[in-house]
Structure 1
Amino acid sequence: MRKLFALFLLNLLVPASAYSQVAGAGKYLDSIRHELTIQWPKNRMINLVFHGHSVPAGYGDRHEVNTLQSYPNLMLKSLKEKYPYAVINVIVTAIGGENSIKGQTRFDTDVLVHKPDVLLIDYALNDRFSNLAKVKEAWEKMIKAALDKKIKVILLTPSPDQRIEINDPANPLEPYIAMIKSLAAQYKTGLADPNVKFKEVAAQGQLKEVMASVNHPNEAGHMLIVKELLPYF
């Protein structure tokens, strides 16, 4: 009930119209997209840092780590097809089992040290086990620290856990999804919403087809996330 009340408050404080303030995919990374087209010797490294839990880390079934089938590296493959002259570094600072509260404590040493051009944050799936206010504080600290250094930020809504009925409006992820959207609107960051795509798949009774385990996507599931990120690039 507390989480549902928190969701109500978030929706009350941040009306749906406010989500239009989220940085649009069309222009948010204009400068990055331009740099990705520059050829040697005038090009430079572009660092994409993926911070989060086991999903961006590539965990699959039985703790196997499928790095090359995870969405950060599938993103790299797609981007290299589009930008053949670009030097793109995909840097994954994700740790399996971690939430944003812990991730924020190592943000300076593990994330900012890589000098991201674009930072992508994906923690909500694990955050649902922690206090919403503390989670929001952690996300906000990371967002502010990145924006202070002129880093472009894209926030991600969560992929599924099959133990949760994700199409139930009362499911425990919803307050955290609302929080992510409210922060994206407040700070005018990018927002990728793969959760809505997973809900569409679940509504068709096909969620198992995009999952490698109870709470980790397979390559097809990771591609759903990629498709939500690619419009920014």
Structure 2
Amino acid sequence: MLFSLSMQIFVRALFVVTLVAGGAGVCCQADDVATASAEKVQSTKANYFGDLKQKLTQTWPNNRLVRFVFHGHSVPAGYFRTPIVRRFDSYPVLFHQGLCERYPTAVIDVCNTAIGGENSVSGAKRFADDVLTLKPDVVFIDYCLNDRRVGVDTAQDCWRTMVEQAVAKGVMVVLLTPTPDSKEDISDPDSPLAKHAESIRQLAREFELPLVDSYSQFQRLVGEGEDVTDYLSQSNHPNRDGHQVVADQILSLFE
């Protein structure tokens, strides 16, 4: 007991000395925490699908159907310039094609429960009936664009509800930050989409889930001099190139 108390006093004293000594020690601590957090995210991405990737490599007669479900709004549903739907150019189908090429002996099914115009409030209400009844191995959730109508807090609660339901059933989950909207400045950290994107990152950290950070990827492209409209079919819907950006990120989880 005395040893434990002495150690507590020593740790507190050391912390005070570090603060007094200047910002360098504190910054170093913060950098270490950030590095550890980043490494944990990479570890989650690398290990989360380990067993599933093993199943995808199995051959007949030992293989089985592996099912992926995409749940969300108009983007995963395949809407381009509304009301035109180009399902075969949407990221769920591009992912399906790419995964089949990587795992040619796997039986892979991709289901799409996305509805144009929907937000996570209604998406959460039908999650059990429309998504979990399909008995998926993995569910992808993408609602941020339309969640701007309900606000960050409400949306995060709804996403959390869906994640908890899936985890309770042993279903793996991947969260997606939004694709761009040309009516917002993608470089503005205070824009509505940026705030929703950060909310989803928080959920991914909270549940230790893989994250497809589409928003950061498009920010990077714009930062490199790309025009965001080159990836859009209308202000809030990606074109095929935009969908390919998302599909490539998802496929990287299964390399």
| Count of aligned residue pairs for this structure pair | 219
Aligned twin of 2:115: 95
Q: Is the 8 A contact 1:116 1:151 kept in 2?
A: yes
Q: Secondary structure at the match of 1:61?
A: coil
Could you give the per-residue CA deviations for residues 168-222 of structure 1, whole angstroms, max 9, x where no partner exists?
1121112211111111111111111111111122331421211111111111111
Of 105, 121, 127, which residue of structure 2 is paired with 1:107? 127
Q: Confirm or deny that 1:47 pairs with 2:67.
A: yes
Aligned twin of 2:16: none
- Structure with greater proportional helix content: 2
**Once the 2 structures are TM-superposed, how far is the Cα of residue 167 of structure 1 from its aligned partner?**
0.7
TM-score if structure 2 supplies the norm length? 0.82
Q: Structure 1 segments of 4 or more deviating over 4 A?
A: 15-21
In structure 1, runs of 5+ residues without a counterpart are 1-14
Aligned twin of 1:56: 76
Letter in 1 for 2:246: I
In structure 2, distance between residues paired with 1:196 and 1:101: 24
RMSD, aligned CA: 1.5
Q: Secondary structure at the match of 2:237?
A: coil
Q: Is the 8 A contact 1:19 1:182 kept in 2?
A: no
In structure 1, distance between residues paired with 2:97 and 2:226: 29
Identity within the alignment, %: 40
Letter in 1 for 2:249: E
Q: How does 1:100-179 map to 2 (within 5 A)?
A: 100-179=120-199
Could you give the per-residue CA deviations for residues 81-125 of structure 1, whole angstroms, max 9, x where no partner exists?
111111111001000011101100000110001111011000011
Could you give the per-residue CA deviations for residues 151-181 of structure 1, whole angstroms, max 9, x where no partner exists?
1111001001110111111211122111111
Q: Highest CA radius of gyration, 1 or 2?
A: 2
Q: Is the 8 A contact 1:19 1:185 kept in 2?
A: no
Aligned twin of 1:214: 235
Q: Secondary structure at the match of 1:25?
A: helix
Letter in 1 for 2:106: A
Q: Secondary structure at the match of 2:174?
A: strand
More displaced 10-residue stretch of structure 1: 18-27 or 129-138? 18-27
Could you give the per-residue CA deviations for residues 16-70 of structure 1, whole angstroms, max 9, x where no partner exists?
5656544632111011111111111111110100000000001001311110000
Letter in 2 for 1:85: T
In structure 1, distance between residues paired with 2:82 and 2:252: 32
In structure 2, runs of 5+ residues without a counterpart are 1-32
Aligned twin of 2:45: 25
In structure 1, distance between residues paired with 2:39 and 2:118: 30
In structure 1, distance between residues paired with 2:154 and 2:190: 21
Q: Is the 8 A contact 2:188 2:194 kept in 1?
A: no
Choose between structure 1 and 2 for higher RCO, CA contacts under 8 A separated by at least 6 residues.
Answer: 1
In structure 1, distance between residues paired with 2:72 and 2:82: 19
In structure 1, distance between residues paired with 2:249 and 2:117: 24
TM-score if structure 1 supplies the norm length? 0.90
In structure 2, distance between residues paired with 1:144 and 1:19: 23
